[in-house]
Structure 1
């Protein structure tokens, strides 16, 4: 089994923290999964983009882990017909 790089371990750790926090907050689990799946296609060599997303994710984790946040709502862009 290949070993993970340091940045991969950071992403996995952030994902686990998000899932741990989402247990008590309705609507957050599906949002977290969709965000991580959306960015899963980023090439491993694009370290600048990955690091930027890690910083953004850490800020969001810090924000939603406060006791003031009870649930999460997401705006969905509607397609024009």
Structure 2
């Protein structure tokens, strides 16, 4: 099986997604699915962005990191969209 070479931005996006999933595991069991589906929806909504649109991707990465930092707070127990 050949390894797929990913660009730096692609690696950053995957890293952010994995971080989101890791944070989901720290939330109360009853609300984990809300966090997981929120993260998945956010990434799916932006899947159509051209991979050469670096400005948009970098903006979304910054936005995603800020959201992750906010939702990772221990005081946040549930999320609803």
TM-score tier, shorter chain, comes to 0.7 to 0.9
- The answer to whether residue 49 in structure 2 is matched with residue 47 in structure 1 is no
The residue that corresponds to 2:80 in the other structure is: 73
Q: Give TM-score scaled by structure 1 length.
A: 0.85
Runs of 4+ displaced beyond 4 Å: none
Give me the whole-angstrom Cα distance separating, in 1, the residues matched to 2:65 and 2:4: 26
Give me the whole-angstrom Cα distance separating, in 2, the residues matched to 1:2 and 1:71: 36
Give me the whole-angstrom Cα distance separating, in 2, the residues matched to 1:64 and 1:31: 11
Count, aligned residues: 74
The RMSD of aligned alpha carbons is 1.0
Q: Give TM-score scaled by structure 2 length.
A: 0.85
Q: Which runs of 5+ in 2 are unaligned?
A: none
Counterparts of residues 18-29 of structure 1 (less than 5 Å): 18-23=20-25, 24-25=27-28, 26=31, 27-29=34-36
